[in-house]
Chains A and B, each alone.
Chain A
Amino acid sequence: MSFITRGFSGRSRERDDRLPPGQTLVGDFPVLSAGPTPEVDTEDWEFTIRTETGAHSWNWDEFMALKIEDVDTDIHCVTHWSKLGTRWRGVSLDTLFEDVETEYDYVMAHSYGGYTTNVPLDELLDGKSWVAFEFDGEPLDPEHGGPARLLVPHLYFWKSAKWVRGLVMMDQDEPGFWEQNGYHIHGDPWKEERYW
C-alpha cells in the first residue's frame, strides 16, 4: 500500500479547466523518446507523400517555399502533461495535399529513425495539422523532433511524429509503433483515448 511521502511534491503540476480529462499543466517541455535522436541535415532532408499511384516529394528548399503558417495551439501528452498556447511555424497538411490524389482514407506517418504513427486523413486536413519546423520562435530542436515534425494538436502528442520524413496512404487503418504496443489507435484526449 503506497503512502504519501513526507515533504515530496514532485515537479509543478497545475490543474486547469481548459484541459482535457486527466491532464495537468507543466512549465517545461518534457522530452519523450523511443530511441537515439536522429541527426538529419536540412541538406539531406526530404518529405514524401506516397499514394497508391505515386509519390510527391519536397526537399528543404522546396518545402520552405510553400505557404508557411503561424500556429498557436494547446498540446496534450498521453503522460498527463499539457501545454497551452504553444507557438509553432509550419506548412499545413492542406497545402501539402493540394495536388495529391488518393482514394485512401488513412495515413501512416514515418520518421527518420523508424518511428511510425497512424492518423485518418480527414484528421490531418481542414486546418488540423502541420509539418512544423519552428517552435517558440526558434528552429525546432532535434530533441523535440527537428528539423521538422508532424503537428496534430487535437490528438495526443504521440501522434505528432518527431523527425517526420513522409506519409504513406493506407486503405485501412493500421497501428503505428506505439499503437501496436498498447496505445489507442485514435488518441483523442477529450475522450481519454490513451490505451487499447
Chain B
Amino acid sequence: MSDAPTAQAVAPSAALQAVPRSGWHVATVAATHRETPNATRIELDVPGWPGNAAGQHLDVRLTAPDGYQATRSYSIASSGSSTRVVLAVDKLPDGEVSPYLVDDVRDGDMLEVHGPLGAFFVWAPAAETGDRRPVQLIAGGSGVVPLYAMAHAHAGADDPTPFRLLYSVRTPDDVYFDDELGTLADSAAPLRLDFVYTRRTPDGWATAPGRITREALEAAVFPASERPRVFVCGSTGFVERVADWLVMLGHDPRSIRTERYGGT
C-alpha cells in the first residue's frame, strides 16, 4: 500500500493550493431554514472567510455565561470564494451543541467558527486537478452535506466528470437539499442520483424500506473496473459497513476517502 507510486487520488500540491489557510472568524446567522424534521440549514455571513473547497468543514465554538465552551465540527454545504457559508446541522438526541443550532439559533446570532478545515475529504474539478476518474459519492443521512457541496461544485464548474450520489435516508422527509439535488441531477454536469430509504419509502417505490445491502451498493455504484474515486460520509457504522463492502467489491482502499461522524 505504501510503496505504490502516485497512490494519491489527488495530486498533493494541487490539493494544497486549492485549500485556503484556516482561522477563527465571527459568523453571523443570516438565515435559517428547517431542512428536515430533525435538521436546520444555517446560512452564515463570515466576513474575512477566505473561501473553501468542496467537502471541507468548520468547527463551531459556543461559550456559556460561566465560560464553559463546547466545540463541534460541521461539514460545509457550500464552496468557492463566497463569504456566505452554508451548514446543515442534524440534531443529535443527547447532543449538547446540535439542539441549540437546530432549534434555538436565530437570524443575527453570532457564532465563533474555525475554518476552513480539512484538505483530505475534498473534491475539486478536473480542470484544477487533472484527475478525470469518475466520482462516487455515498451518503448516510446527514453525511450528505459535504457530498452535496461536491455535487454542487461539480455542476457549478460544468465539470464533465461522471458523478454518482448514492444517498441513504430514513424517509423521503429526511432528504437534505431535496430540490437542489433534483436541479443538479438535471444539469449539464453528469450526476446520477440513487436513494435508499431505510424506514419508509415514497409511494409506489419498487422495494421495501431497509438498510442498504451489499447487493444494492454494487448495483448503484461505478464498478471497480472504472476505478472511481469514492467519498463516503455518514455515521461511523454506516461508513465502515460501506467501505468494507467497497473493498470486497474490488475498489482500491486508497481510492476511498471517508468522513465519519461518530455513532453507529
Q: Is A33 an interface residue (CB 8 A)?
A: no
**CB <8 Å contact, A13 and B61:** no
A10→B110 CA distance, assembly (Å): 17
**CB <8 Å contact, A13 and B66:** yes
**CB <8 Å contact, B68 and A13:** yes
Q: Is A4 an interface residue (CB 8 A)?
A: yes
| CB-defined contacts of B70 to chain A, threshold 8 Å | 8, 10
**CB <8 Å contact, B66 and A8:** no
Q: Is A5 an interface residue (CB 8 A)?
A: yes
Cβ-closest chain A residue relative to B112: A2
A3→B109 CA distance, assembly (Å): 12
Q: Is B62 an interface residue (CB 8 A)?
A: yes
**CB <8 Å contact, A2 and B63:** yes
A6→B109 CA distance, assembly (Å): 7
A10→B98 CA distance, assembly (Å): 10
A11→B64 CA distance, assembly (Å): 10
**CB <8 Å contact, B65 and A9:** yes
| CB-defined contacts of B105 to chain A, threshold 8 Å | 7
**CB <8 Å contact, A5 and B66:** no
Distance in Å from the Cβ of B97 to the closest Cβ of chain A? Answer: 8
Cβ-closest chain B residue relative to A9: B64
Q: Which residues of A contact B (CB under 8 A)?
A: 2-11, 13
Known: A5-B63, A6-B110, A8-B64. 13 other contacts (CB 8 A): A2-B112, A3-B63, A3-B110, A3-B112, A4-B63, A4-B64, A5-B64, A5-B109, A5-B112, A7-B104, A7-B105, A8-B104, A10-B64
